Structures are given as C-alpha cells and as structure tokens.
Amino acid sequence: MPQPHNTLLREHKAREQLRALLTLNNVFSLHVLEEPYLSLNKHLIAANLRLRKSKQSSNISL
C-alpha cells in the first residue's frame, strides 16, 4: 500500500537528520582522538567548525 506524501517527506527528513548527526559524531570522534586533552565543549566547537568548513568547500547540504 503506497504511503502518503507527508509520511515519505517526514521519513526523508528523518534520514537527512540522522545522516547529519552521524557525520557530526564521526568528526567529533576523530577530533577527540587527535586532541584528547581538550574539554568536551572545545571538541564540540572544533567538530562544528570542521563540518562547516567541509560543507562550504563541498557544498554538501546537511
């Protein structure tokens, strides 16, 4: 049975959000491994900056 358009749209948005969260998690984990002495807040800021730079350079929509 076909799903209504709204349901498909919600599922698509949920997949995009999950992909963005997984990407942020990967970048955050990599930064923690590279610089383990930094605080949690500094890791989050650095991961966010890294994602913004990569998004700007590749024009990826997260």
State pTM to two decimals. Answer: 0.57
Averaged pLDDT of the chain: 81
* pLDDT mean over 2-30: 85
Provide the pLDDT for residue 15: 92
Residue pointed to by tokens 């024009």: 59
Check whether 62 has a pLDDT greater than 70.
no
Confidence band, pLDDT 50/70/90 cuts, at residue 2: low
Mean pLDDT over residues 20-48, rounded? 84
Burial class (CB in 10 A: 0-12, 13-18, 19+), 17: exposed
CA distances in angstroms from 34 to 5, 13, 29, listed in the order given:
44, 32, 9
Task: Name the more confident of 62 and 12.
Answer: 12
